[in-house]
Amino acid sequence: MSSSGTRVMVSGGLLSLDTTEDVRERGSGVARQVAVLPVGSLEQHGAYLPLTTDTLVACAIAREIAAAYPVHLLPPVTISCSQEHAAWPGTVSISAVTLYAVVRDIAASLRRSGVDTLVVVNGHGGNYVLGNVVQESAGTGTRMALFPAAEDWEGACERAGVQTSLLTDMHAGEIETSILLHAHPECVEDGYETSDFVADDRRHLLTLGMSAYTESGVIGRPSRAGAEKGKELLAGLTEAFGAYFSLLTSETLH
């Protein structure tokens, strides 16, 4: 058991072993119950990272949060909005409407069981609709937040000594490769050391898709990745989550 009461994870950190009694006990010790939902994707990440990279990253972040704060850790949403990656084999997507409905349904189900606060930990930048779900939650009786924000990533990158900017490190680059080298090194294939590719001007990405900007599927500098950077990235994000937890559990939030 961790200090927050979340039990040991299985299946590469994707699933919790909590029983219903574990959830009941954790909920009885807090003024407001918070659930954390990792949302990933199933999309290409070059030749050296798995299709499940975004899910693994989201789960790694959520797992660290659950170890540090008294939250209910949910299993991940593993397929989301990856239409811009459709040119590569293995990529699978659902519509933004479907993802919107899934998250709203999960929030409603949690509320019926007494959990009125949901944090969505997003691992895929293309899930723009998640911002709308959180935006529209105001006044519905459910408190929601989307994590991490760009500012959270910036702070974590500075702490970890990440050299590549968030603009340049867009996909399968220094950040994602570092987190997997730390959390799931068995999932990182050889080749990331020589796969750097930069395409900072991507203004037509949503119209043309990723294939208009990269042949390899990579946009970033994975050669700069390291396991220690991944560890510090997760530590920085976990620390940043403290402000979210305080806000969401405050009695003064409207």
Q: What is the pLDDT of residues 178-189, one digit of tens each?
A: 999 999 999 999
Element (H, E) at 226: none
Are 77 and 99 spatial neighbours (Cβ–Cβ below 8 Å)? Answer: yes
pLDDT value for 14: 73
Share of the chain above pLDDT 90, in %: 83
Share of the chain above pLDDT 70, in %: 94
Q: What is the mean pLDDT of residues 72-100?
A: 98
Dist CA 171 CA 177 (whole Å): 9
Are 94 and 42 spatial neighbours (Cβ–Cβ below 8 Å)? Answer: no
Each residue's pLDDT tens digit, 129-178:
999 999 999 878 789 999 999 999 999 999 999 999 999 999 999 999 99
pLDDT value for 6: 53
pLDDT value for 2: 42
pLDDT value for 9: 47
pLDDT value for 3: 42
